[in-house]
Amino acid sequence: MTHLIRYLAILFLFVSAVIGVGRALAGEPVRATEQTTGPWQLFIDDYLIVSKKNVVRRYHPFRKHPDNPLIRVDRPWEAHVVNAVTVLPGEDGTGFRMWYYCWTEDKSSKKGRGSFMCYAVSKDGLKWEKPNLGLYEWSGDGTKNNNIVPHCPGHVMYTPWEKDPQKRYQGVGGMYHAFSSPDGLNWKQESTETIISGGDTSHFYWDAHTKRFRCTVKGGANAYVSGDVSGLRRRVVGFSETTDLTKFPPLRMVMAPDDVDDLWCKPETVQRTHFYACPVLPYETMYIGLLQIYRAEEPEGYFHGPLWLELVSSRDGVHWLREEADTSVRNIYALDSVSRPPLLDIGKYREFDRGMVIAHTPLLVGDELWTFYTGYDEEHDLLPYRSAIGLAKLRKDGFASLDADELPGEVLTKRFENAEGPLLVNYQARGGSIRVELIGDDGLVVAGYGREDCEPLTGDAIRGVVSWKTRKELPNGVPVRFRFILDRGRLYSFMAGQHAKSIDEPPVPVLQALYTFEGDTEAWSDMLGEDGLQALRNLGTSTLDHKNPDPAFGRRSLVVGSQWRPWNRVEILGTDDLGRYFTLAAMVKSSNNKHARLFSAYNGNFPVSSAELIFDFDPSGRMLNGLRLVCKGIAVDSEAVTFNDGKYHHLAVVYDDGCVTFYLDGKPIGRQWIPGGEPVKLARSLLIGEDAHRGSDEQLMGNVDDVLVLGRAMSAEEIASLAKNGATVFFAKTDK
């Protein structure tokens, strides 16, 4: 009898699980890319956080489905390759529709060879059908009994809000044209000319946050995304946006590899890491990117190697943050060692996805994120390869979490306005707990919302409801901070109401160093001390012009360079962290009108790494256009200018989170873009006049005055005033 009861209990649990899975697959609503924005606040980065203690951020990969691959090459026109490009839910929010392409490298005259866009459907996302659409006559058999979709773009967007019923679906395909369709199957080309210039890999999407069409495109073909990073040609990610799908502005670079990406490379080779593409998902209150990491391991460093996905995140879809790197991983030439964990990794030996994995943006299916990815059995460009399509899943908001392990942890957020209703938390606390207390503007715990009042959250929940002994909802109309107390818990995200919004913290004193070389005892002193004083250290024979004063403003200037000593520079201590915004400027009078360093954090050994910086100039315009900045391993130039007249000139560069603007004598002389998001952190402090170690000769010979290093992006008006009137205007602003 006992055995029978136990058997019936197990049978009941099994049947319940099967029914539950069936409901999850068939009945759960499916939300597409255009529908995944919302009010949830994720802890992928530190944007929301004021302080944290005894917690560690962990990244979580997608889990591959055990029945993979779900779609294989099984039609004659598919030849060798099937690749999922777009997957959308049915228009009623159920089922799945997939647009994929097929391709063969066979260049023979055999009929039917080529590349085609195809269509597949599924009720549950696991079992797929390839319907005969009757839209295209395939030359292989002369019939329309196939699932080929003629004139179909690769990137399909569902846009039912368009007034024109013929544009309920829109997309971009070819190299590159805009298309429209009433049903996703019958397509019409809308653009007569190419809508954007870029590489052969891209992702186009509708952004529900900004109500714009956006794209990320492989860099290399456009002047704004040249792809030269740390001395090597690389694939990078460019970005553009528009309200008119038939025309995009030129691309600008938004993602490029850094030094950590190349830790695996064998010394004395040109092996390198490339960014192949980055599909972007507007998700909840932010953006998620599926960055394709390509390690080119063959001797040329360009053609062959594995490719997998890595998480990147952004608050605006333009400025991107990478995963926090594990700096302990420094195994040279270890292809299996990574400093940033994969979001979706390649498979094991002999598995269908052992060479490369490529994925479109995920769908939200119930409380899971589903991505249908393409796996290749060989590495990049090792033909012939075969591919198939699989499924991988992730917990909702599960990209990253803040975890407290052995010691209790705390996370304090920024202030939030418009918080209301119940506080929901996505968490895990098996064997532990999570509590929340609210902090008011006065820095004190809000009455009734303390940690002692909070009912602990335990177990595992996507939408755990936080309650306090006498409170079930958040206080209305009062800005509050949230302090999460974790005891062996894991925190993914929270939701504090449909309209809750974080409030930026009051600005802290930014880096500011100004040297006017005035006075008798403090001529070398930093004139701006709100952030502490940055001392100057003379590394050579630089001296003040006491004997023959020749200042731009005031009474004295600094003489850099000497005919008796070929290597002279001055170090500005404490300038190794420039942040996301900075201005570098000085009055400069060159005595030889040659190419020279103004500011440098470069060791002098080619190439310039992503942890080094150069701001140099060439008055003659022979070596450089005029001004140049090398930052994050990427060089950008001003417009072509000359100023070789032997007079003082004000040289400035403003870095505004990736937007670089050059100024000569207060006038802008060019704007360029390098990837923003990540702060500019250098391996050493800035030098004036030359590099840290001797390499080629770029010694500044002449006078400098009013040297400025400022941790914010100055406006064009401020730069013009500084160039005209000197540092006195700056002091006037400071004294207010």
Q: Worst-scoring range by mean pLDDT, 228-242, 302-316, 600-614, 688-702?
A: 688-702
Q: Across residues 513-523, what is the average pLDDT?
A: 82
CA distance 371 to 393: 6
Q: Across residues 23-44, what is the average pLDDT?
A: 77
CA distance 253 to 390: 31
Calculate what percentage of the chain has a pLDDT beyond 90. 79
CA distance 73 to 600: 55
Residue among 330, 341, 486 at smallest CA distance from 407: 486
SS3 (DSSP) at 33: helix
* Structure tokens belonging to residue 523: 């001529």
CA distance 457 to 427: 8
pLDDT at 326: 80
SS3 (DSSP) at 233: strand
Q: Worst-scoring range by mean pLDDT, 80-89, 524-533, 544-553, 575-584?
A: 524-533
- Mean pLDDT score across all residues of the chain: 91
Task: Say if CB 53 and CB 410 are below 8 A apart.
Answer: yes
Between 377 and 732, the more confident residue is 377
pLDDT of residue 350 exceeding 80, the answer is yes
pLDDT-derived band at 432 (thresholds 50, 70, 90) equals very high
pLDDT of residue 109 exceeding 90, the answer is no
Q: Worst-scoring range by mean pLDDT, 238-252, 284-298, 319-333, 619-633?
A: 319-333
pLDDT in tens, 671-684: 999 999 999 999 99
* Structure tokens belonging to residue 635: 């060089």
* Structure tokens belonging to residue 213: 């069409």
pLDDT of residue 654 exceeding 70, the answer is yes
SS3 (DSSP) at 357: strand
pLDDT at 408: 96
pLDDT of residue 299 exceeding 80, the answer is yes
pLDDT of residue 324 exceeding 80, the answer is yes
Calculate what percentage of the chain has a pLDDT beyond 70. 91
pLDDT at 732: 59
pLDDT at 730: 67
DSSP state at residue 22:
H
pLDDT of residue 466 exceeding 60, the answer is yes
CB within 8 Å of 505: residues ≥ 6 apart: 50, 414, 415
176 prior amide bond cis, ω within 30: yes
pLDDT at 353: 97
pLDDT in tens, 383-402: 889 999 999 999 999 999 99
Q: What is the pTM of this model?
A: 0.92
pLDDT-derived band at 20 (thresholds 50, 70, 90) equals very low
Q: Across residues 131-155, what is the average pLDDT?
A: 95
- Domains of the chain plus CATH, in order, are 45-58+404-503 (2.60.120), 60-194+361-396 (no CATH), 197-343 (no CATH), 512-735 (2.60.120.200)
* Structure tokens belonging to residue 9: 């209990």
Task: Say if CB 287 and CB 315 are below 8 A apart.
Answer: yes
pLDDT in tens, 618-635: 999 999 999 999 999 999
pLDDT at 19: 35
pLDDT-derived band at 140 (thresholds 50, 70, 90) equals confident
Q: Across residues 189-217, what is the average pLDDT?
A: 95
